[in-house]
Amino acid sequence: MMKTLADLKGYQIVGKHSAVKTCLWLKKSLKDQGFCYKQKFYGISSHRCLQMTPALICNLSCIHC
């Protein structure tokens, strides 16, 4: 179930419990079509930026999960 839910949101599964998602600006930066605000204001290269989660499941055991 986690795999299909992650795939729907654009994440790629890495290993058994992690996921990675590349953003629109990463793709545009690689094609030399622009960059996001993080590059302009913070000096973070857009082609090195991505979203990731170290755990697809909640490991806090709180009542909301």
Model pLDDT for residues 33-61, shown as the tens digit of each residue: 988 888 889 888 888 888 888 887 777 77
Domain boundaries, the chain: 2-53
User: Does 65 score more than 60 pLDDT?
Assistant: no
Quote the pLDDT of residue 2: 59
**53 with 12: CB under 8 angstroms?**
no
Q: Is the pTM of this model over 0.75?
A: no
Phi first, then psi: give them for residue 25, nearest 5 degrees: -70, -30
